[in-house]
Amino acid sequence: MNLFDKDIQLTDLGNSRFLGIVTDNWSVNDNPNGGYLMAMIANAMLQKSDKNNTPIVTANYLSRCVPGEVEIHVSEIVRSRQFTRFEARLLQKGEEKIRAFGTFVSETNGCGVDRYETLSPELAPSEECIQMPIMPQYTLFHNLDLRLDPGCAGWLFGKMADKSLHKGYFSFFDGRPIDLLSLFLIIDSMPPAVMVTQGMTAWVPTIELSVNIRKLPKTKRLKCSLRTRHITCGILEADGEVWDEEGNLAAISRQIAQFRKE
């Protein structure tokens, strides 16, 4: 079993409650990655769902979660022929840390139109990209191989750019294939796009994250982008896209986060 699969395993406690162990294998500055936590929540929802296609999950991060035991409580909101919707709460030591809503779609809900008005990000060849440095407090990048396009990697060396845009290649170091649950992790694993213009001092904790899985990718390596266009009153948005190397859109996201330059 791959490390990610071990780290999102849940024990069914009955009554739509699940026990999980948040590890420190997917952390940034000792904080578990929000997409990793969302993957655990989505895993709990899937275990209660009669549908498992193209889920939409939105999470509100209420307070900081740390490595250790968590409980996830899942409630079904409504079920129809096309959709099943859930509410989930992630609790740690009795305190609610995350409140999430998920919508799961029937596999028979056909895709009559496949139209892309934008395409996957244009990237330099992988061998010309900059591998994200592996640092002790950034365990996320001990396990995910991120290679940033040179045009957006200048902040690693103190050189800023004009647009808050990150793009690069993602894959698992251990070769794990990309599936539905790992997309929640990967789409939230790009460093904040504002670092491209503001540098490493940017403080960007997530308030809300919404992820929509579109198609399961056909390649083990993904092409990803993250774009911030507006910073106002200490709040920013970040729009993410994940594509496979055959040009299929795998997932999109919208994140709302705080911003402070320390």
Q: What's the CATH number where 148 sits? A: 2.40.160.210
pLDDT of residue 137: 87
pLDDT of residue 136: 86
User: Per the structure, how many domains does the chain have?
Assistant: 1
Buried b (16+ CB within 10 A) or exposed e, 220-237: eebbbbbbbeebeeeebb
The answer to the question of residue 182 being in a domain is yes
The answer to the question of residue 204 being in a domain is yes
pLDDT of residue 109: 57
The answer to the question of residue 38 being in a domain is yes
Distance, CA of 220 to CA of 245 (rounded, Å): 9
- Comparing CA positions, the residue from 40, 22, 42, 41 lying closest to residue 32 is 22
Distance, CA of 120 to CA of 44 (rounded, Å): 31
The answer to the question of residue 119 being in a domain is no
Domain that holds residue 224: 3-107+130-261
The answer to the question of residue 122 being in a domain is no
Provide CB contacts within 8 A for 111, sequence distance 6+.
none
The answer to the question of residue 112 being in a domain is no
pLDDT digits (tens, 9 = 90+) for 118-165: 999 999 999 999 999 988 889 999 999 999 999 999 999 999 999 999
- Comparing CA positions, the residue from 156, 222, 152 lying closest to residue 184 is 222
The answer to the question of residue 113 being in a domain is no
Q: In the chain, which stretches have pLDDT less than 50?
A: none
Distance, CA of 84 to CA of 48 (rounded, Å): 10
The answer to the question of residue 76 being in a domain is yes
